[in-house]
Structure 1
Amino acid sequence: MTPFPGYPFTSHWYDHPTGLRQHYLDEGTGAPVLFLHGNPSWSYLWRRPILALRDRYRCLAPDHIGMGLSDKPAADRYRHTLASRVDDLDALTTHLIEDRGVPDHGWTLVMHDWGGPIGMAWAGRHPDRVARLVVLNTAAFPNPHGERVRPELRLPLWLLRRTPLGARLFLRHNAFARGATWRPLGVRRRMPAAVRAAFLAPYARPEHRLAIQLFVHDIPLTPQDPAWPILRDTGRALDLFADRPVLIGWGLRDPVFDPAMLAEWRRRLPRARTHVYRRAGHYVLEDVHEHLVPAICDFLWDTA
C-alpha cells in the first residue's frame, strides 16, 4: 500500500526491455478500464473513479515513465517524446494481456491531458480492443485554433520552452506542477494540503522533474514539431471510433483545453454523451468529482 490519502492501492511494476521500471495500478476484476494521466499529474488523479469502479471492472492506471512512481531517467537514457509514450503503453498493455490475463478486447479508455494523444494513438494501433471512450479535458487532434497560439498562452509557452528561466522554473522550483495544484491555474476548488502534497510527492527532487519539462517541450504546436505527425494521424483515426460509446466530461475553466477543443471533440464524435462543468478547471476530477465520478459510473453501466 502507498501512503497517499485516498489511494489505498497495491503498486505493480512492469520492467520494460529498456531496463526502465513502470509503475501501474491493477485493481478489481472484469472488463478493463485503462486510465491515462497527463502532465504534471500521475495515477493519483484516478483514485476516486478506481475506488468507485473496481468492484465491477479491472482498473488499470499506469504512471508514464518519468512520472509518478515510475523510474525517472535522464534525457540520455530515455526519449521523452509522444512516440516513446505510445510505445511504452503498447508494451505495457501487451504484458497485461499476455502475462496478467487482461482480456484483449472490451477496453474502456479514460483520458486526461496528454493521456488523450497517448491513449488515442495507442487505440489507433488496436481499434478492435477499444469499446468505449471517456474524454476529460484533453485533445487527440491538432489545435483547432491552427498554428496560432492563443495570446494569453504565448508568453508562458515561450518562457517555458525556449529560455533558461523556463528550465529553472521547471527543475529548480517545480513551478509547473505546483501551479497546477493552485487556483486558478489547475483547479477552481481549493485542493486540500494533503492531496496537493500527494500530487507533488513524486517530483520532490529537481532531477525528478525532467519529464514534466520535456512534456511541455514536446507539445506539438506546428508541423515542424516532432509530435505533430502522430497527433495529426491520431486525429484522422478518430473516425474509427465514431460508433463507440463516448462520454465527455469537461471543465470549462481550463486555461489550455478551451471550449474550442471541446467543440472539436463533439464535432468529431457527435454521438458523445457530454457533461460540461462551468466552474471546473483543468483538474476536472478534483473540482467536480462528486458529479463526474457518478457520471462515469453511469456511463459504463449503461453501455456495458
Structure 2
Amino acid sequence: MIVPAPFADSQFATISGHRMHYRDAGAGRPVIMLHGNPNWSYYFRNLIDSLKATHRCLVPDHIGCGLSDKPADRDYPYRLERRISDITEWIDGLQLTEPVTLIVHDWGGMIGCGWAVEHVEQVERLVILNTGAFPLPKQKPVPWQLRLARTPGLGSLLVRGFNAFSEGAVRSCVTRCPMPADVARSYCAPYDSWSNRRAVHRFVQDIPLNEQHPSWVAVSKTAQGLHRLQSKPMMIGWGARDFVFDDHFLAEWRVRFPQAHVRYFPDCGHYILEDAQEELIPLISDFVRGKEIS
C-alpha cells in the first residue's frame, strides 16, 4: 500500500473519534481551504506556498480522504450534514481569534458554505473555485460519469475496484495540458485500495438530486442561507470545461453574488488550480491580501 508521507506542517485533530489530518502552514490572518472529491489537501499545495508568508493556511483532509482516517460505514455516516459538523468541530478546536478567508472547491463549497452561513461573523472573505452550495441547477443535466458511478453494483466496481473516479479525474479534470505523472500519482496515492476509496464513492452517492435524498435538507438549508454572505468580498475562479460544475453553476453564483470578482478561464477544467495556476494563484493571493483586483 502506498501511503503519502505527512507534510512538514502536518497536524492531526480528533473529530468525533476519528483522526483528521490538516496542514497548518505560515502565520497571520487565517485562510481555510476545503477540497472536494476525489481529492485531498494536496490540491492546494501551490496556493499554500503562495500565501504562507503572510497568512496562516489551514487545510484539512475530510474524514476518509487524504491522510485522515478512513473509517468503515458502521463507524461514520459519510453524509453532508456530518461533513459540515466535522468542519465546525475542527474550526472550533482551532480557537481562532480573527475571521477567516474561506477558499472552497468542489464538495468543499457545500461543506464550507454550510459552515459559513451559520458563522457569518467568522468569515472575512470567500474564494469560490468550480463548486456549488445549492441544488443542481434546473437546466443542468446529471453528467453520465456521475450516473455511472452511482449505479448500484457497477458504481462500486468502477470507483472502488478499478479506481476509475480518481484515475479518471487526473486525466479529464485538466484540459490545458496533461497532468504531470508525478502530480497525478500524488493525487491518487491516498486512494490505493478498495477500503481506502470508500469516501470517494460515498461522496458520489451523497449528491442530492431530489428531495428524497438524505442530504437534500442540508443542501437546501445552505442554499437558503447564502444571502447572509452577500456583504462579504468574494472572488470566483472558474474553469469553463468542467463537466460537472459548468456555466450553469457559475450563472447561479453570479445571480446570488453579483458583486463577486469573476475570473473565467475558457480553456480550463475542474482542477482549476492546476490548469490556471500561473494566472489564478497570484490573483487569489492578491485578493486574500486585500489588494485591488480589476
Q: Is the 8 A contact 2:163 2:197 kept in 1?
A: yes
Who is 2:40 aligned against? 42
1:269 pairs with 2:267: no
Q: Is the 8 A contact 1:37 1:114 kept in 2?
A: yes
1:157 pairs with 2:146: yes
How big is the shift at 1:230? Answer: 1.2
Select which of 186, 210, 214 maps to 1:222.
210
How big is the shift at 1:303? Answer: 5.3
Select which of 293, 296, 303 maps to 2:281.
293
After superposition, what is the alpha-carbon deviation per residue over 1:224-281, rounded to whole angstroms, capped at 9, x for unaligned? 1111111111111111111110000000000000101101101101100010001110
Who is 2:14 aligned against? 15
CA distance in 2, matches of 1:113, 1:290: 20
Q: Normalising by the residue count of structure 1, what TM-score does the alignment of the two structures yield?
A: 0.91
Q: Normalising by the residue count of structure 2, what TM-score does the alignment of the two structures yield?
A: 0.94
Amino acid at match of 1:164: G
Structure 1 residue ranges without an equivalent (≥5): none
Q: Is the 8 A contact 1:171 1:206 kept in 2?
A: yes
Who is 2:75 aligned against? 77
User: How many percent of aligned residue pairs carry the same amino acid?
Assistant: 44
Who is 1:252 aligned against? 240
Equivalent positions of 1:22-33 (< 5 A) are 22-33=20-31
CA distance in 2, matches of 1:39, 1:96: 24
After superposition, what is the alpha-carbon deviation per residue over 1:42-96, rounded to whole angstroms, capped at 9, x for unaligned? 0000001100000100100000000000000111110000011001001111111
CA distance in 2, matches of 1:51, 1:282: 21
Q: Indicate the SS of the match to 2:129.
A: strand
- Kindly tell me the number of residue pairs found equivalent between the two proteins: 289
Who is 1:240 aligned against? 228
Q: CA RMSD in A?
A: 1.6
Equivalent positions of 1:73-222 (< 5 A) are 73-97=71-95, 102-103=96-97, 105-145=98-138, 149-150=141-142, 153=143, 155-182=144-171, 185-188=172-175, 189-222=177-210
How big is the shift at 1:207? Answer: 0.5
How big is the shift at 1:125? Answer: 1.7
Q: Is the 8 A contact 2:7 2:23 kept in 1?
A: no
CA distance in 1, matches of 2:7, 2:277: 18
Structure 2 residue ranges without an equivalent (≥5): none
CA distance in 2, matches of 1:64, 1:176: 17
* Larger mean Cα displacement after TM superposition, 131-140 or 185-194: 185-194
Structure 1 runs, 4 residues or longer, greater than 4 Å off: none
After superposition, what is the alpha-carbon deviation per residue over 1:200-225, rounded to whole angstroms, capped at 9, x for unaligned? 11011111000000000000111111
Q: Is the 8 A contact 2:4 2:67 kept in 1?
A: no
Q: Indicate the SS of the match to 1:181.
A: helix
How big is the shift at 1:157? Answer: 3.0
Q: Indicate the SS of the match to 1:156.
A: helix
Q: Is the 8 A contact 1:245 1:303 kept in 2?
A: no
Q: Indicate the SS of the match to 2:190.
A: helix
